[in-house]
Amino acid sequence: MDTAKKKRNPIAIVFLAILGIFGGLQLFSKPLEGKPVTGKIEAPKEVISILENSCFNCHSNQQNLSWYDKLAPVSWAVNKDIKRAREVLNFSEWEKLSPAEHQGKMYAILNMMQSGKMPLHEYTLLHPSAKITEKDIETIKKYTLSLSSVNPPAPKKSEVPAATSSSTSISASTKFPVSPNGVRYTPDFKNWKVISMSTLFDHSIRVIYGNDIAVKAVETENFHPWPDGSIVVKSVWKQEELPDGEIRPGKFINAQFMVKDSRQYKDTEGWGFAKFSGDDLHPTGKTASFAKESCIACHRQLAEKTGYLFDVPMKVNTQRLIQNLQKK
């Protein structure tokens, strides 16, 4: 009888041990650093509602976390994800971005939603109310397109390089613009080979050019990773419909550069990103970190399989293609 009393339930012992460990972990759980809201996004109520419901918990300083999000070890992963998300996009610091950057961020948000990459699947498993519907996507799409019709304020004269009547050329006496991260605009891309083309829901035409190194990488299917020295340029125009129904490039929008240098651009998967917009080709970004904050997040999520380049390249005069044609 006494021996039986002394025996302890092994299940109870295990449970108490787990409870003790779990309680101990809470001692190492630090609350998420609180930050002020310095500037809110201004948008229609229905847009704000979608963003608050599906994005703000990670991409703002206004967290409304569930109790289980605050318990270690879950809290460690949650805090890490929020810090990373804030670096990419923070709706509570929206005033720090220019109108052009606002538009670019909304395009990125729409792309992520349409591809099903955001909100994260693991997040919606625990927060099902944050799931995005087709109606939500259409609402965000409509708002994003409306931003394209708003003309951004003209740069100050001191900031505008002299330009010719051509929308993508600059006079020979003027230095070509340089992005904050060191990527320099060059008109030479117009003589490179076209490696792909695409259109977007904003009724744009996009032609993607590659330099010799990039073209060879396409021909040999050696673009994961792309070799250093590869340069890819996406030139974007508005679609213009002629009276006979033919679609041609209309107004020039921007030229988007990707320069592969694995040493210089370690934080962005070895790619140097740049965008030169408008007739004056003004570069996007105020500091060299703009690509880390604005560009690479989308490329990591949507284009990892093609070496972080959107639009899988078309084959360019490959030897194999030529041989196949000769056999016919």
Domains of the chain: 25-148 (no CATH), 188-306 (3.50.70.20)
User: Angle between the 45-54 and 134-148 helix axes, to the nearest 10 degrees?
Assistant: 120
Residue pLDDT, tens place only, 42-71? 889 999 999 988 888 888 887 777 656 666
Residues 190-211 pLDDT 10s: 999 998 888 877 788 899 999 9
Q: How confident is the model at residue 169 (pLDDT cuts 50, 70, 90)?
A: very low
> Comparing C-alpha atoms, which of 196, 192, 184, 234 is closest to residue 213?
192
Global pTM exceeds 0.75? no
Q: Establish whether the linkage from the previous residue to 225 is cis, with ω within 30° of 0.
A: yes
Whether the pLDDT of residue 228 is over 90: the answer is yes
How far apart are alpha carbons 244 and 252 in whole angstroms?
A: 22
- 275: number of Cβ within 10 Å: 25
Task: Pick the range with the lowest mean pLDDT from 69-73, 216-220, 261-265.
Answer: 69-73
Q: Which stretches of 208-274 are DSSP H helices?
A: 212-219
